[in-house]
Structure 1
Amino acid sequence: MNLSPADRDRIIDLIKNGQTLPKEDLYKLAADEEDVFLFWNGRDEAVTRAVLPFHHIEHIDEPRREATSEGANFSMFDLKGRQRQGWHDKLIWGDNKLILSSLAHGPLREQIEAEGGLKLVYIDPPFAVGADFSHTIEIGGETATKTQSVLEEIAYRDTWQRGISSYLSMMYERLKLIHSLLAEDGSIYVHVGWQVASSVQLLLQDIFGYDNYHNTISWKRSHAHGDAGQGATHYGRITDYIYIFSKSDKFIWNPQYEAYSEKILKRDYKYKDSMGIYRHTPVDGPGGAAKGNPFYDFLGVKGYWRYSKEKMQELYDEGLIVVSSTGKSLSRKKYLKDAKGTPVTDLWDDVNRISPTSTERIGYPTQKPEALLERIIKTSSNEGDLLADFFCGSGTTAAVAAKLNRKWIATDLGRFAVHTTRKRLIGVQRELKEKGQDFRAFELLNLGKYERQFFLAEMSDEQRVSREDTYLNLILEAYKAERLEGHTQLHGRRGGRMVHVGPLDVPVTESRVREVVEECRKLGYTQLDVLGFEFEQGLFPRVTQEVAESHNVRIRPRYIPKDVFDERAVKKGQVKFYDVSYLRASFALNPSPAPASAPEKARAEVTITLEDFVTNYTQDDLPAVESALAKGKSEVIIDGGQIIKVSKNQKGVQDREILTKNWHDWIDYWSVDFDYDSKKEIIRIQNEAGEIEEQWTGNYIFENEWQSFRTKQDRSLEFTTSPRAYLKPGTYRVMVKVVDILGVDTSQLLEVEVK
């Protein structure tokens, strides 16, 4: 440290008196052999090493089985999909910091290394204050806004609560973890806007090293119209920036080319193919005499031709040498198929933004063009390589990777982003299957058991207890439940029902629910309310049914509304807790019509019909909105499982129009696993001795065998599946899963008896 004794004494006194240290003292304290040290308020060199198990929610190995007139539907085997050995692509819902840490330090690291390591990472992190997780819903010619969940709000707050310093702290830890995951020949592309570009570049140089910096791509993403202040206070902002860094000095690089202009093609590329018509006269041949023979002159006399005599003879024999019309120059023929183009520079103005009418557009606000990712992926990876995007958004990186025969990992904290990506990747599978091309299975995961110490580690025990007490008292008061003491997992009682309050900062997981149920069983309680801001995907009603059967504990899961934090609403009793959604499906079982010649004789076939769906989702207070609405204005809200347009005319007369006309309007996607018990969920965890062991969780993985969903271009849905055959008698459990237009999943289990 570059400190004099006087400096040291002065700093000690400042610290003892609880005073802020001047920045120049901080720099002196941090001084070392580095020429430049990047510092910001809140910088912490520590990086989390949390290792949480990945819970397998869903497996999608083929777009969907279809009935055929040849009875092929009865075959249990397919040449593609699950039968393709090796890596299954991974779509993961959760906090990417914990996902990255669990990938870097957990058992899944072995699988990544077995695939050759992570060769390329592209990330498009949020780079503007205000860019939250909310999304719009189109219905009845109107649009409603699904506000972000509490988990998403916490993530947004952690990113921006102190401005750029919070953003840098968020990015620093994630980039450090990405650096540790990259293969030695791997690269990272970080896509940012003008708001944070200069800061992020310094951050990347700090982590990856200046010598491993290669380019700053300037992408002309749009015209400047709509840029507030353009001309008056600044030039029009029409570019994003993409920083390219590698892990080491050895990295994958496949040069890409922009197509030649028509002028250059007409000038230089005159030959369509080896049988095409060409303009210049071919050389007659070597001949015997040197004098007057262009071939001999250029080869033997002028001697500047870059090929050897033998190579020139070979080119001549293949008809690939021409002499100019003047007879004074000799050249190779140029074919259009060999016209690579001009090497791509760091100004990308040839990749257009997605037009409003493009079939590529899926309605996600930050969606990037596939052409942009195609160039990146082709440049910095090869076929079969493993890529990742830890802010996957609409899933463009994964979609393009799948089309280019790359493996992928995609993660996001937003439910809507994960659901959008799932639909998009199923669409890619369908597209590849239609073309007869191979495609790879992918699985939907989320982080399993969350350890509280990873979220509250910075607090003292006293602070932690105080925070937990304040939080529990707040929720229980809003729920009108009395606080319980002396219990481990049970926090309150409401009438004859016990109450468990889920955490604020993570979803309610299956492991948590089972721990609560076990306490109920030991104490003889049979009625339980589980309250949560967010629930692990696929949790209900599967666990509810299993627990009711095995432990005689009736669970009622309920969502905690965000207005629980409004003290006035709590005091007035206006906070509405609402039940998870409900669906009803039925099945029809018929004898199999498979012909006798079918390779596998089916005993029966089943079809599933979706018959009803009820949601109780509430995010707005209808009376409050109506009372605050100005004359001549309208607003679309979501209250009590309805999307409602509230209007007030110039005379102050109010009107309510329910936009969700029937339950169909709520469905965005549904899928079916016809044999839910066919695939056990096996997870790999690290025991106390540091050894990796496999454990069955007691759960099963949802095998996505059939699905129907809406797209931007096609809003229709099917409500009855194609037939699915059963080859053996027995009782089969069928899982039906629905994802509504808000991105929330609901499921139902059916039992089908095949004789």
Structure 2
Amino acid sequence: MVKSLLEQLPEIVARGRQQAERILESLEGRHRVSLQTREWVLPSRDSREADWIASANRQDLLGEKPAQVWANRLIYGDNLLAMAALLAGDEHTPSLRGKVDLIYIDPPFDSKADYRTRIALPGVELEQRPTMIEQFAYSDTWMDGTASYLAMLTPRLILMRELLSDKGSLCIHIGMQVSHYVKAIADEIFGKDNFNTEVTWSYGTPSGGRAAGNKIVKAHEYLLWYAKQYGEHIYRKEYLPYSEKYLVERFTEVDENGRRYRTRERQKGYFERQYLDESKGVPLSTVWTDVKQLYAYHLLKRKQEETGYDTQKPEALLERIIQTTTEPDSLILDFFGGSGTTAAVAEKLERRWITTDLGKPACMIMRKRLIDQGARPFLYQAIGDYQVEAAKSALGRSFRVGDLSSIVLSLYGARPLQPEDNPLRNLGATTAGGRKTLVLVDSPNKMTGVATLNKAIAQRDNLLGGWDKVVVLGWNFEPAIGESISALADDRLEVLVIPPDLLDRLKKKGNSIEKLRGQVRFSSLQYLTVYPIERQPSASVSPAEGEERQAREERLNVRLANYVLLSPEAINLDEANRKKLHEVMNREPLALIEYWAVDPDYDGEVFRSVWQDYRGNTAKDEGSWRVVAEAHFSVPYKAGERRVCVRVVDVFGFEAEVIQVLAQVQP
């Protein structure tokens, strides 16, 4: 007999504790989860003519390593792995265990959610299904309905408690479908004595159009509030303005100076005056009716906040939560970042923040939103060794990289070489049409780049008497991989992408290597080209003083030439949408670019973007669905060569970059 959900709760909590304990035990190990910095973002909306002050400030920050100062973070990837990385810390950033004052989460609780992304391109709109990684995450969350959802949430709540400081709080934003079950689990994890309060957020007045159906219209959600240690937690009492009705009825008197007041009896026969201008207002209660959903905002106000993200919450809601539970410079985390409202509000209130999301569209929206509001510099990071963690989940914690390489070779249709010629178990061979092809599977621990390509070419030419061709299969790639392939100009070299969802597919019941063989497609890469970058000396003028500055400057002019998406088949589109995509690719390839940035002094390790542009940037006039194709900006003069890196992210989240080394110019 199938157990009821109430009967399953103890098992769900027990399994969640075991999962969390395994993660906590691994934090001291050699192979702990880490974060890879993809970009050190120094926000600069493209205004075409950035003034010298902004340029100088950004240049000062270029001299800093992000690890030397606190840096807010936007993290792409599974939030469970992000929590593990933040708890573990690394050589640059200490563990955040016990350092967080507020965690706000708004986990999706609609099992019927579609999660499709609508992508507007010039003249067409595409509908993209979730990436396979996202699909598996969502399907795992709802495989067994609410039980799966609670199983997903439980270990995460345990790790969140580890991150909270002794004065910290957790705010769970949840709907009525699962709020009672989530509260039961949170009571178990945090302790009932640490339950602070439940707030009912009544977000709008139901309209006639929403009254369809056979049940009362839903017009509220809940905020479940827990303290790490009740009584020690930060609580800043808030007051709301008196209603007009209350003022008319209570503050009925006016003194000789025109001040409104009321007289009230404190004790029998003892009266005092209460002046309106000295009154704080009505203490904040557990029912919030004054904060409305975005759709209820005035059109102009809504446009100022709206990002196009379906479940976006209004900034006023997060302002109240943050102001009530944190202090200036408190650290705030949001592990279901969505549209980035938590980070955006924390930034405005001068709090430190970290936000994460599994969806690339969400991360792109958040990055643009933060740049658009002129945020302080922040890191854009991804989960390091994601494929290794996925392999441990699919193949067991004792798996070896060689095991994974053998699986990939088998799925590609290659037979492994003999052990004496294949000590890493990552080389295989195929024979077709009389041509011998060597196949090399790169490690999931590495970013496949030019060093791997040179090694593959050397093995092709020398191993076992030589081969006609070599194919490199990689998991993760250096953004400049397209440029490296072009520079090698070797027609006997092919580089393909291992499907990022491969391990998730192997983990699913019923799937086997034999079943997947022939179904798995290895796709090619995308690449970017730019015109020769111009480096020119320029005079620097101070807008404040109207005088030429003594500091020397130079000007960089960057022009995009072309963007080629080589593997549209890897994008999760139906045939009609794929046809639309091909039309745009042929007609206007640069329209596929969602975001691009320039690092004028790329060190090969951390990409520091001092200039960015993105679709929808209100500082330019190229239209909502295009980026500008040129960047013109000034930077402090530098003696010697300049290594400029241009990086783009397309509308599907793929990245590519180009590096040009520029000769010195005379000031």
TM range (shorter): 0.7 to 0.9
State whether structure 2 residue 150 is matched by structure 1 residue 150.
no
Whole-Å Cα distance in 2 between the matches of residues 149 and 556 of structure 1? Answer: 21
The residue number in structure 2 matching 1:609 is 559
State whether structure 2 residue 656 is matched by structure 1 residue 730.
no
Amino acid in structure 2 at the alignment position of 1:420: I
State whether structure 2 residue 529 is matched by structure 1 residue 589.
no
Whole-Å Cα distance in 2 between the matches of residues 176 and 109 of structure 1? Answer: 25
The residue number in structure 2 matching 1:643 is 581
Q: Cα offset for 1:422?
A: 0.9
State whether structure 2 residue 479 is matched by structure 1 residue 540.
yes
The residue number in structure 2 matching 1:652 is none
- Do 2:102 and 2:331's aligned partners in 1 also have CA atoms closer than 8 Å? yes
> Aligned runs of 1:93-492 on 2, under 5 Å?
93-107=76-90, 111=94, 117-131=99-113, 133-140=115-122, 142-221=124-203, 231-232=213-214, 234-249=215-230, 250-266=232-248, 277-278=258-259, 330-335=272-277, 338-355=278-295, 357=299, 358-359=302-303, 360-429=305-374, 440-450=376-386, 452=388, 455-456=391-392, 459=395, 471-472=407-408, 475-477=411-413, 484=417, 486=419, 487=422, 488=424, 490-492=426-428
- Do 2:318 and 2:345's aligned partners in 1 also have CA atoms closer than 8 Å? yes
Q: Secondary structure at the match of 1:578?
A: coil
Q: Secondary structure at the match of 2:379?
A: strand
State whether structure 2 residue 550 is matched by structure 1 residue 599.
yes
Whole-Å Cα distance in 2 between the matches of residues 157 and 200 of structure 1? Answer: 19
- Do 2:55 and 2:635's aligned partners in 1 also have CA atoms closer than 8 Å? yes
Q: Secondary structure at the match of 2:581?
A: strand
Whole-Å Cα distance in 2 between the matches of residues 69 and 739 of structure 1? Answer: 23
- Do 1:542 and 1:749's aligned partners in 2 also have CA atoms closer than 8 Å? no
Which of residues 629, 633, 651 in structure 2 aligns to 1:741? 651
State whether structure 2 residue 570 is matched by structure 1 residue 667.
no
Q: Secondary structure at the match of 2:103?
A: strand
Q: Secondary structure at the match of 1:189?
A: strand
- Do 2:260 and 2:276's aligned partners in 1 also have CA atoms closer than 8 Å? no
- Do 1:91 and 1:442's aligned partners in 2 also have CA atoms closer than 8 Å? yes
Q: Cα offset for 1:129?
A: 1.7
State whether structure 2 residue 476 is matched by structure 1 residue 520.
no
Worse overlay, 238-247 or 714-723: 714-723
Superposed CA RMSD in Å reads 4.8
- Post-superposition Cα deviations, 1:483-541, rounded to whole Å, max 9, x if no partner, equal 555432635446566434579xxxx5535668956863774669754446x746xx221
Residue ranges of structure 2 left out of the alignment (5+ in a row) = 27-31, 463-468, 506-510, 542-546
Amino acid in structure 1 at the alignment position of 2:495: R
The residue number in structure 1 matching 2:613 is 708
Identity %: 26
The TM-score normalised by the length of structure 1 is 0.69
Q: Secondary structure at the match of 2:136?
A: helix
The residue number in structure 1 matching 2:72 is 89
Worse overlay, 91-100 or 659-668: 659-668
- Do 2:337 and 2:355's aligned partners in 1 also have CA atoms closer than 8 Å? yes
- Post-superposition Cα deviations, 1:322-357, rounded to whole Å, max 9, x if no partner, equal xxxxxxx6514322xx55332222222322111295
Q: Cα offset for 1:425?
A: 1.0
Change (3 A) 1:118 1:612: same
Amino acid in structure 2 at the alignment position of 1:730: G
Whole-Å Cα distance in 1 between the matches of residues 48 and 145 of structure 2? Answer: 56
Whole-Å Cα distance in 2 between the matches of residues 571 and 511 of structure 1? Answer: 25
- Do 2:406 and 2:426's aligned partners in 1 also have CA atoms closer than 8 Å? no
Whole-Å Cα distance in 2 between the matches of residues 169 and 573 of structure 1? Answer: 30
- Post-superposition Cα deviations, 1:86-143, rounded to whole Å, max 9, x if no partner, equal 41101111221111112113338964659x8100000111212243653111234653
The residue number in structure 2 matching 1:690 is none
The residue number in structure 2 matching 1:52 is 33
Whole-Å Cα distance in 1 between the matches of residues 165 and 400 of structure 2? Answer: 39
The residue number in structure 2 matching 1:633 is none
Whole-Å Cα distance in 2 between the matches of residues 176 and 458 of structure 1? Answer: 23
Change (3 A) 1:276 1:546: farther
Larger-Rg structure: 1
Q: Cα offset for 1:620?
A: 8.3
> Aligned runs of 1:491-506 on 2, under 5 Å?
491-493=427-429, 498-500=438-440
Residue ranges of structure 1 left out of the alignment (5+ in a row) = 1-19, 31-35, 282-293, 306-328, 430-438, 627-635, 645-656, 678-698
Q: Secondary structure at the match of 1:58?
A: strand
Q: Cα offset for 1:569?
A: 12
Q: Cα offset for 1:59?
A: 0.9
Q: Cα offset for 1:160?
A: 2.2
The residue number in structure 1 matching 2:497 is 558
- Do 2:56 and 2:636's aligned partners in 1 also have CA atoms closer than 8 Å? no
Change (3 A) 1:572 1:76: closer
- Do 1:118 and 1:386's aligned partners in 2 also have CA atoms closer than 8 Å? yes
Q: Cα offset for 1:241?
A: 2.0
Q: Secondary structure at the match of 1:700?
A: coil
Q: Cα offset for 1:444?
A: 1.1
Q: Cα offset for 1:398?
A: 0.5
- Do 1:56 and 1:701's aligned partners in 2 also have CA atoms closer than 8 Å? yes
Amino acid in structure 2 at the alignment position of 1:599: Q
Q: Secondary structure at the match of 2:70?
A: coil
Whole-Å Cα distance in 2 between the matches of residues 256 and 172 of structure 1? Answer: 31
- Do 1:560 and 1:578's aligned partners in 2 also have CA atoms closer than 8 Å? no
Q: Secondary structure at the match of 1:452?
A: helix
Q: Cα offset for 1:42?
A: 5.2
Change (3 A) 1:509 1:422: farther
> Aligned runs of 1:621-636 on 2, under 5 Å?
636=576
Amino acid in structure 2 at the alignment position of 1:614: V
The TM-score normalised by the length of structure 2 is 0.78
Amino acid in structure 2 at the alignment position of 1:711: G
Change (3 A) 1:68 1:464: closer
- Do 2:77 and 2:356's aligned partners in 1 also have CA atoms closer than 8 Å? yes
Change (3 A) 1:704 1:346: same
Q: Cα offset for 1:173?
A: 1.0
Amino acid in structure 2 at the alignment position of 1:348: W
- Post-superposition Cα deviations, 1:354-393, rounded to whole Å, max 9, x if no partner, equal 1295211111122111111111111111111000001111
Worse overlay, 591-600 or 207-216: 591-600
Q: Cα offset for 1:732?
A: 1.3
Q: Cα offset for 1:247?
A: 0.5
Change (3 A) 1:96 1:355: same
State whether structure 2 residue 661 is matched by structure 1 residue 751.
yes
- Do 1:676 and 1:735's aligned partners in 2 also have CA atoms closer than 8 Å? yes
Number of aligned pairs? 616
